[in-house]
A and B are shown apart, each in its own frame.
Chain A
Amino acid sequence: MKKIFKFFLFDLKRTFLVPAIAVVLYIINAATEFGAMGRDLLSFSVSGFEKADKAAEIYLYIFCGLILASLIYRTVTDDKLFKKARIDPKTVFLSRLFSAAVFCFLFATFALLLGTARLAILKNRNEDMFYVKDYPFIFSLFGKRGTYMLFGLSVGFSVAVAYSFVFMIHQAITSDFHPAAKVAFIAALAAVGVFALVVPYRFVSVGNVGTSVYGAGLPVGNISYAAIRNFTAAHYYQQVLPSPVVIKCAVCWNILHIPALVVGAAIIILGFLSHSFFSIKENADYIYGGKKK
Chain B
Amino acid sequence: MAYEENRGKINFGGELIYKRYGKKTVLNNASFRIERGGIVGIFGLNGAGKTTLLNILSGLDGNFKGSLLKTDFTDVAYASQKDFFPPDMRIKDYLNFEATFSEGFDKEKIRGKLAAAKISEKSFIFSLSSGLKQYFKFLSAVFGGKSVVLLDEPFSNLDVNLRGEVVNTLIDLTDENRLFLITTHEIKELERLIDGFFILSGGALSEYYDAEEIVGKSGKSVEEFYRETVNEKNI
Bound pair: A and B? yes
**CB within 8 Å of B: which residues of A?**
3, 6-7, 10, 17, 74, 77-78, 80-81, 83-87, 176, 279, 281, 284, 292-293
Contact of B84 among A3, A81, A87, A281 (CB under 8 A): A81
Q: Say yes or no: B101 contacts A84, CB within 8 Å.
A: no
A17 to B97, CA, bound (A): 16
**Looking at chain A's contact residues, is the secondary structure mostly helix, strand, loop, or mixed?**
helix
Can you list 28 residue pairs at the A/B interface with Cβ under 8 Å?
A3-B101, A6-B100, A7-B101, A10-B97, A17-B88, A74-B86, A77-B87, A77-B88, A78-B86, A80-B84, A81-B84, A81-B89, A81-B97, A83-B60, A83-B84, A84-B60, A84-B78, A85-B97, A85-B101, A86-B74, A176-B63, A279-B62, A284-B63, A292-B18, A292-B20, A292-B65, A293-B18, A293-B65
A-B pairs, 8 with minimum CB distance: A176-B63, A77-B86, A80-B84, A78-B86, A85-B101, A84-B84, A86-B74, A81-B84
Contacts of B81 in A (CB 8 A): none
Is B156 close to A, CB under 8 A? Answer: no
**Total residues of chain B contacting the partner, CB 8 A:** 23
Contacting residues of chain B (59-93) with chain A, CB-CB under 8 angstroms: 59-60, 62-63, 65, 73-74, 78, 80, 83-89
Determine the residue in chain B with the shortest Cβ distance to A14: B86
- Known pairs A10-B100, A81-B97, A284-B63 / 8 extra A-B pairs, C-beta < 8 Å: A77-B86, A78-B86, A80-B83, A80-B84, A84-B78, A84-B84, A87-B101, A292-B18
Whether A81 lies near B86 (C-beta < 8 A) is yes
- B98 interface hit (Cβ, 8 Å): yes
In Å, the complex CA distance between A81 and B78 comes to 12
B102 interfacial by beta-carbon distance below 8 Å: yes
Q: How far apart are the CA atoms of A26 and B151 in the complex, in Å?
A: 48
Interface of chain B residues 161 through 194 with chain A (CB within 8 A) = none
Across-interface contacts of A279 in B (CB, < 8 A):
62
Distance (whole angstroms) from the CB of B222 to the closest CB of chain A: 31
- Complex alpha-carbon distance, A281 and B64, angstroms: 8
Pairwise interchain contact B98-A85, C-beta atoms closer than 8 A: yes
A86 to B, closest residue via Cβ: B74
Flag if A281 contacts B62 (CB, 8 Å): yes
A209 to B213, CA, bound (A): 81
